[in-house]
Structure 1
């Protein structure tokens, strides 16, 4: 991939520091590319409401996909159930896929988190709108998890049967996979 093609692959409106985009362009051809190569985004924040179902699921799936890379992945909620672990069905699904999310504790989103993140992925358009109101300067780095796919919003499975969590897990997994080429 040429430097021009690498730059074109970056989501529109995203700001990419020059030194990282150059490193990405150099490594994208495969020559000298290692698991430790610098990506386009090194600090990813994932949003939902309670930070106990969707965003931690996406956080831990993305962490697994990026294992060995220097990318920090965190999550937070717009109305977080602060201090709570991952919801039971969501935790079961993660465990069934070999992921231990037991360290997770829900965190409340704040403007500083949005400023520090290089990429912010929300589950719903309203999450992105709320984040933009909280930190307008972060607007250019706010995107839907499903941006590259045929779905926009990832529905909230909270307090629904396990089947709803399974459906949402599948959407989140596809959404995470669709972002890997940019990280």
Structure 2
């Protein structure tokens, strides 16, 4: 059995492919995790945007094989967890596919709500963890939009993209930890590499 995460942003050339590559690279290879990404207004066929690609390469990740894909209802229906870059993506996805409500979060929202959550190390337990995070959302109360939205670094230089990427690394680590898909080591990326 595998657990499927779908990362979503607008063009599928910055935030969602960055999340996809980080999740895939940092997950325990024995975890049975499948990660993909798509865009709500994808720049279909395009590679990762320049500044984002530069940051990923500096961190030892290869963005060259990524090609932007348009989000489809089938992709969303097949995912066990959908992580969006912004509330607008989350809300659009839930509007288009109401059955995805309990497994669709912004990337930051999921990490924030799941921070204290631990599961056993199986894909089935990860599904239960997503349900627990969905239940926690009801009592979490409102947060400022900036807490849940990642800025879109499309067209930015690597130096402007880096703060968004660094924030995303923390989100990815919290997500993998909450789902217990992290290897025993903790990933830290220094700003100098």
Which consecutive residues of structure 2, in runs of 5 or more, have no partner in the other structure?
Answer: 113-142, 182-193
Equivalent-residue separation in structure 1 for 2:85 and 2:171 (angstroms): 10
Per the alignment, residue 111 of structure 1 pairs with 73
Q: Distance in 1 between matches of 2:170 and 2:100?
A: 25
What is residue 105 of structure 2 aligned with on the other side? 143
CA contact (8 A) 2:49 2:155 kept: no
C-alpha distance in structure 2 between counterparts of 1:81 and 1:67, whole Å = 30
Tell me what 1:179 maps to. 175
**8 Å CA contact 1:49, 1:77 repeated in 2:** yes
- The 3-state SS of whatever aligns with 2:7 is strand
Q: Distance in 2 between matches of 1:99 and 1:118?
A: 25
2:92 paired with 1:130: yes
* C-alpha deviation, 1:134, in angstroms: 1.9
Structure number with larger C-alpha Rg: 1
Normalized against structure 1, the TM-score is what? 0.74
The structural deviation recorded for 1:67 is 4.5
**Residue 159 (structure 1) shift:** 2.0
Structure with bigger RCO (C-alpha 8 Å, 6+ apart): 2
Q: Once the 2 structures are TM-superposed, how far is the Cα of residue 79 of structure 1 from its aligned partner?
A: 0.2
| TM value normalised by structure 2 | 0.71
Give 5+ residue unaligned stretches, structure 1: 1-37
User: Are the aligned partners of 1:110 and 1:134 in contact in 2 as well (CA < 8 Å)?
Assistant: no
- Kept after mapping to 1: 8 A contact 2:87/2:106: yes
Q: CA offsets, 1:89-142, max 9 Å, x none?
A: 111111111111211000000110110000000111101011112211111100
Matched residue SS, 2:153: coil
Paired residues for 1:6-155 under 5 Å: 42-68=3-29, 69-147=31-109, 148-149=111-112, 151-155=147-151
Residue-pair matches, total = 144
